[in-house]
C-alpha cells in the first residue's frame, strides 16, 4: 500500500473497496468516530482494531500495518530490570564472587522456572541477573542456553523487547539440536508477535512448521510437542492476519499432534525447553483465542466451558492467558460481574503477571467505558493493571 501511515493505508484500502467510512464502521464494528480519527492521523490503532478493519475490507491485516502501532501500556520500570538487562547484554560472566557449579546453577534455574510459571516477576528480577552471570561462567552451554531463554521470555513479558531479543540471540548460538532450535523459534515468534512484527512472526512460524513436520506414526513426544507448539504460533499469527483458513488448517494439524502424544509428553517437552507444555488442552485454548480474535465471544464461552480452565493449575502461559479471553468474551456479552470475577481469579493467582498484560488493560478499559458505575472490585482491577481513572 502506498500510504505512509496506518490512516493513509486504511483510507486507500477503503476507497479501493468502494465503501464509505460509515459502511466500514457498520461492517467492522469499529465506531465511525474512531475510523475518522485513524484516517485523520489523530488516533493510533491497536492490533485487534486493525484486524477487525482488515477483515471488513477482506484484506490481510499486514496490508494495513507497516508495524503494529505502539502499545499504550503502563510504563516499564527500567530501574527494576536494569541489572538483568546488563547481565544479558554483557559478553562475559562479569564479577562472579564464588565459583559456580553446574549442580548449583541447575538447581537455581529450576527455582527460577517455577517463579516464572507462577508469575513471580519481582523475585525473578533479583534472582536472574546472578544466574545469567553464573551460567555464562560455566562451560555447560546447555545451562547457558536455558537461562538465557528464560531471561528472554521474562523480558518479553515485561515488554523489554530489545534486551529479550539479545537474550534469544545469545541462546540461539548455543542451540544443540533441532528440538531446542524449535523451542527458541517459538519464543522468538512470541516476541515478534507481542512487539507488533506480525509478518515476521508469521513467516518464522510457518518456516518452522514445515521444518518440523514429523511422520506421525513414529514421532516422539518431543517432536510432536515441538511441531504442535509452532503450529499454535502459525494459528495465532494467521488469525490476527485475517487468514482464517490458514488458522483453521494449523489448528487441525495441532489437534492431530496432540492426539498422538503419549502420557508424559509434557515432561519430555519441558526438557527441550517448552515451558508452555503443548497438549490437546493448549490446542483447545488456541481455538478459543482464535474465536476471540475473530470477535466470536459466544464461541469463546462455549469452548471455555469445555476446557474448564479454573480446574487447571494457574500457569502463566496457558491457563491465565486463556482466562483473559474468557473475561473479554464476558465483557463483549455484557456479563460484567462474571468478567470481574474471572479477572479477580487471575489477579489472585498471578498479580504481578496480570499487571504487565496490555490485553488485561484493554479488557478492563472496555468494561469501565460500558459501565455507568464501577464496583470496588472493578476499581481494584483498574489499579492492578495501571489503568488511569
Res 389 pLDDT > 70? no
Confidence band, pLDDT 50/70/90 cuts, at residue 269 = very low
Question: CA dist 94 to 84, 136, 151, 315, 378, Å?
Answer: 12, 9, 17, 33, 46
pLDDT tens figures, 138-149: 889 999 999 999
Mean pLDDT of 234-254: 94
Q: Which residue has the cell 513471580?
A: 120
What's phi and psi for 173, nearest 5 deg?
Answer: -70, -10
SS3 content of the chain, % helix, strand, coil (to 5): 70, 0, 30
> Which CA distances in Å does 287 have to 235, 236, 326?
9, 9, 12
CA 134, 135, 136, 139 dihedral sign is positive
pLDDT band at 285 (very low <50, low <70, confident <90, very high): very high
pLDDT at 69: 43
Return the domain boundaries, the chain.
6-63, 73-176
String of DSSP letters for 21-86 = HHHHHHHH---HHHHHHHHHTSS---HHHHHHHHHHHTS-GGGT-SSPPPP-PPPP-HHHHHHHHH
What is the mean predicted confidence (pLDDT) over 249-264?
Answer: 89
**Is residue 267's pLDDT more than 50?**
no
pLDDT tens sequence across 125-171: 999 999 999 999 988 999 999 999 999 999 999 999 999 999 999 99
230 vs 376, more confident: 230
Q: Which residues of 7-44 are buried (b: 16+ CB within 10 A; e: fewer)?
A: bebbbbbbeeeebebeebbebbebeeeebeebbeeebb
Alpha-carbon distances, residue 210 vs 113, 228, 231, 380 (angstroms): 29, 11, 10, 46
What's the CA gap between 309 and 127, in Å, rounded? 30
pLDDT of residue 303: 97
In the prediction, which pLDDT does 73 show?
52
**Can you give the pLDDT at residue 112?**
93
CA dihedral 384, 386, 387, 389 (to 10 degrees): 90
| Residue 289 pLDDT greater than 80, yes or no | yes
Helices (H) and strands (E) in the chain, counts: 21, 0
pLDDT category of residue 268 using cuts at 50, 70 and 90:
very low
Res. 105: pLDDT tops 70 = yes
Nearest to 279 by CA among 294, 266, 289, 268: 266
Distance, CA of 336 to CA of 378 (rounded, Å): 9
* Helix or strand run (H / E) with residue 210: helix 198-212
CA distance 339 to 318: 18
pLDDT recorded at residue 74: 55
C-alpha grid cell for residue 303? 469452548
79 confidence band (pLDDT: 50, 70, 90) = confident
Neighbours of 167 (CB within 10 A): 29
Among the ranges given (24-33, 197-206, 258-267), the one the predictor scored with the smallest mean pLDDT: 258-267
Q: What is the pLDDT of residues 173-231, one digit of tens each?
A: 999 998 889 999 999 999 999 888 999 999 999 999 999 999 988 888 889 999 999 99
Note the pLDDT of residue 254.
95
pLDDT band at 367 (very low <50, low <70, confident <90, very high): confident
> In the CATH hierarchy, which fold is given to the domain comprising 6-63?
434 Repressor (Amino-terminal Domain) (1.10.260)
Amino acid at each position: 500500500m502506498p500510504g505512509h501511515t496506518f490512516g493513509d493505508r486504511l483510507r486507500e484500502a477503503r476507497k479501493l473497496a468502494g465503501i464509505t467510512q460509515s459502511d466500514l464502521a457498520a461492517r467492522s464494528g469499529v465506531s465511525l468516530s474512531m475510523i475518522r480519527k485513524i484516517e485523520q492521523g489523530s488516533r493510533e490503532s491497536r492490533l485487534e482494531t486493525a484486524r477487525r478493519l482488515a477483515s471488513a475490507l477482506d484484506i490481510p491485516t499486514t496490508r494495513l500495518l507497516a508495524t503494529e502501532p505502539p502499545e499504550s501500556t503502563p510504563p516499564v520500570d527500567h530501574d527494576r530490570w536494569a541489572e538483568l538487562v546488563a547481565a544479558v547484554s554483557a559478553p562475559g560472566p562479569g564479577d562472579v564472587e564464588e565459583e559456580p557449579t553446574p549442580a548449583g546453577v541447575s538447581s537455581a534455574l529450576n527455582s527460577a522456572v517455577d517463579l516464572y510459571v507462577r508469575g513471580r516477576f519481582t523475585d525473578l528480577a533479583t534472582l536472574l541477573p546472578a544466574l545469567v552471570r553464573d551460567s555464562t561462567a560455566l562451560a555447560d552451554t546447555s545451562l547457558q542456553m536455558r537461562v538465557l531463554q528464560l531471561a528472554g521470555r521474562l523480558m518479553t513479558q515485561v515488554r523489554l523487547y530489545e534486551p529479550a531479543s539479545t537474550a534469544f540471540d545469545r541462546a540461539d548460538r548455543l542451540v544443540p539440536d533441532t528440538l531446542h532450535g524449535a523451542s527458541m523459534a517459538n519464543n522468538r515468534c512470541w516476541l515478534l508477535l507481542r512487539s507488533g512484527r506480525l509478518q515476521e512472526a508469521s513467516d518464522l512460524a510457518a518456516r518452522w512448521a514445515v521444518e518440523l513436520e514429523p511422520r506421525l506414526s513414529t514421532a516422539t513426544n518431543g517432536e510432536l510437542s515441538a511441531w504442535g507448539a509452532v503450529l499454535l504460533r502459525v494459528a495465532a499469527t494467521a488469525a490476527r492476519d485475517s487468514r482464517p483458513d490458514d488458522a483453521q488448517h494449523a489448528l487441525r494439524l495441532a489437534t492431530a499432534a496432540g492426539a498422538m502424544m503419549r502420557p508424559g509428553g509434557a515432561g519430555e517437552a519441558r526438557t527441550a525447553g517448552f515451558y508452555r507444555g503443548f497438549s490437546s488442552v493448549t490446542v483447545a485454548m488456541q481455538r478459543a483465542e482464535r474465536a476471540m480474535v475473530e470477535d466470536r465471544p459466544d464461541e469463546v464461552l462455549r469452548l471455555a466451558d469445555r476446557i474448564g480452565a479454573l480446574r487447571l493449575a494457574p500457569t502463566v502461559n496457558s491457563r491465565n492467558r486463556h482466562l483473559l479471553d474468557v473475561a473479554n468474551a464476558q465483557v463483549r456479552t455484557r456479563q460484567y460481574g462474571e468478567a470481574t470475577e474471572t479477572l479477580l481469579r487471575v489477579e489472585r493467582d498471578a498479580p504481578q503477571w496480570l499487571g504487565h498484560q496490555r490485553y488485561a488493560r484493554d479488557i478492563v478499559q472496555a468494561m469501565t467505558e460500558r459501565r455507568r458505575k464501577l464496583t470496588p472490585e472493578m476499581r481494584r482491577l483498574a489499579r492492578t493493571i495501571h489503568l488511569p481513572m
